[in-house]
Amino acid sequence: MIDIERRRALKAGGILAAFAAAGLLPAGRARAAWNKAAFEGKTVQEALASIGASTTAASDDVQIIASDIAENGAVVPVQVVSRVPGTTQIVLFVEKNPNVLAGIFDIGPDIAADVTTRIKMMQTSNVAAVVKADGRFLASIKEIKVTLGGCGG
Amino acid sequence: MANPMRIRAAAKDGITEVRVLMNHEMETGQRRDASGAIVPAWFIQEVSARLNDKDVMSAQWGPSIAKNPYFAFKIKGGKAGDTVSVTWVDNRGDTRTDNAKVT
């Protein structure tokens, strides 16, 4: 009997260790906030639903600044600027990447709605920026052509 | 411990523009190595910034952010001599914080 209990305990410990290794256990306060469901979304719709955006409207006040053609898909500079009043979040998607969500940027009162980063693109794809403002979701889409893929190379 | 970030912060007309270059593999978990085994995902998940101990910025990232990430943002306020600090946490729980003086 004692042996069985011990085995159970060891097994449970093993499962926990496996979860930790897979990054499924939050280590500390900061990591608990990471929106796992959204980042695992395989389609833009899936990922949008995970951030609470069921409907989006196209808007000229959301601007994606990037070149039309990226020579190297591993490093594609992208800037997103929102002129929507009350912007609280900028969310960046790459439609044809295995996981479509690239990043969620919280726009607090101390930050301008203007962020720049560099993304990976597996292939030519639409890049979408969705802006959350006053509970509404406004979107802009830009196609970026990739001549050399950036995932798996 | 991961390599340090390079941070530049410059104040102009009431806006502090911060540019950060991080050192990180940003492995997607999609790639296979020479033997065909999947290289496990390893990427920065959370990024945050402070201006003089005040939280001003936070972001969540996925593996679609490019290797050795570049990130630029604009803080409302800030002046020369202020301190900007940037922190990242990756999916292995590794973390790094670096500071820069605003110029």
Residue A22 has pLDDT above 50, yes or no: no
Residue A6 has pLDDT above 80, yes or no: no
Tell me, yes or no, whether A53 and A3 share the same domain: no
Amino acid (one-letter) located at A108: G
A128: domain CATH number is 2.60.40.2470
Task: Please name the helix (run of DSSP H) or strand (run of DSSP E) that holds residue A90, with its range, or none.
Answer: strand A87-94
**Is A44 a domain residue?**
yes
**Is A113 a domain residue?**
yes
**Most B CBs within 10 Å: which of A120, A127, A146, A148, as the mutation test of the B interface?**
A120
**Most B CBs within 10 Å: which of A105, A126, A130, as the mutation test of the B interface?**
A105
Span A22-42, average pLDDT: 65
Residue A13 has pLDDT above 90, yes or no: no
Q: How far is A35 from chain B (nearest CA, A)?
A: 8
CB B23 within 8 A of CB B68: yes
**Is A136 a domain residue?**
yes
Tell me, yes or no, whether A19 and A94 share the same domain: no
> Scanning the structure block, which residue is given the tokens 């402070």?
B50
Q: What token pair was written down for A26? A: 């939050």
Tell me, yes or no, whether A40 and A19 share the same domain: no
**Is A152 a domain residue?**
no
Q: Are the Cβ atoms of B64 and A118 closer than 8 angstroms?
A: no
**Is A153 a domain residue?**
no
Tell me, yes or no, whether A27 and A78 share the same domain: no
Span A18-42, average pLDDT: 62
Tell me, yes or no, whether A39 and A104 share the same domain: yes
CA distance A63 to A85: 14
Q: Are the Cβ atoms of B71 and A117 closer than 8 angstroms?
A: yes
Q: Are the Cβ atoms of B93 and A27 closer than 8 angstroms?
A: yes
Q: Are the Cβ atoms of B67 and A75 closer than 8 angstroms?
A: yes
B6-95 is a CATH 2.60.40.10 domain = yes
Interface A:B, Cβ pairs < 8 A:
121
Q: Are the Cβ atoms of A103 and B54 closer than 8 angstroms?
A: no
CB A86 within 8 A of CB A134: yes
CB A113 within 8 A of CB A82: yes
How many domains, in total, are found in chain A?
Answer: 2
Residue B41's pLDDT is what?
93
Q: What is the pTM for the complete model shown? A: 0.83
Tell me, yes or no, whether A44 and A18 share the same domain: no
Q: Are the Cβ atoms of A118 and B56 closer than 8 angstroms?
A: no
Residue B37 at interface with chain A, using a CB cutoff of 8 Å: no
Q: Which span out of A12-16, A18-22, A50-54, A106-110 was modeled with the highest average pLDDT?
A: A106-110
Tell me, yes or no, whether A28 and A52 share the same domain: no
Residues of A with CB under 8 A from a CB of B: 23, 27-28, 30-31, 33-35, 39, 74-77, 79, 94, 97-99, 101-106, 108-112, 114-121, 150-153
B51 forms bridges with which residues in the sheet?
B54, B84
Residue A145 has pLDDT above 50, yes or no: yes
Tell me, yes or no, whether A16 and A86 share the same domain: no
CA distance A74 to B97: 25
B13 sits in the region (left: phi over 0; alpha: psi -120 to 50; else beta) called left
What is the percent of chain A with per-residue pLDDT over 90, rounded to a whole number? 59
Show pLDDT as tens, one digit a residue, over chain B (103 residues). 578 999 999 999 999 999 999 999 999 998 888 999 999 999 999 999 999 999 999 999 999 999 999 999 999 999 999 999 999 999 999 999 999 999 9
Residue A35 has pLDDT above 50, yes or no: yes
Nearest to B93 by CA among B41, B48, B44, B37: B44
| Residue A13 structural domain | 1-33
Strand B70-76 and strand B15-21: the pairing is: antiparallel
Report pLDDT digits (tens) over A66-87: 999 998 999 999 999 999 999 9
The complex scores an ipTM of: 0.94
Could you say which residues from 9 to 28 on chain B have a Cβ atom under 8 Å away from some Cβ of chain A?
15, 26, 28
Residue A11's pLDDT is what?
56
Tell me, yes or no, whether A124 and A88 share the same domain: yes
Tell me, yes or no, whether A66 and A128 share the same domain: yes
Tell me, yes or no, whether A50 and A112 share the same domain: yes
Tell me, yes or no, whether A79 and A94 share the same domain: yes
Closest residue of chain B to A51, computed from CA coordinates:
B60
Residue A138's pLDDT is what?
95
**Most A CBs within 10 Å: which of B22, B57, B60, as the mutation test of the A interface?**
B60
Mean pLDDT for all residues in chain A: 82
Report pLDDT digits (tens) over A97-123: 999 999 999 999 999 999 999 999 999
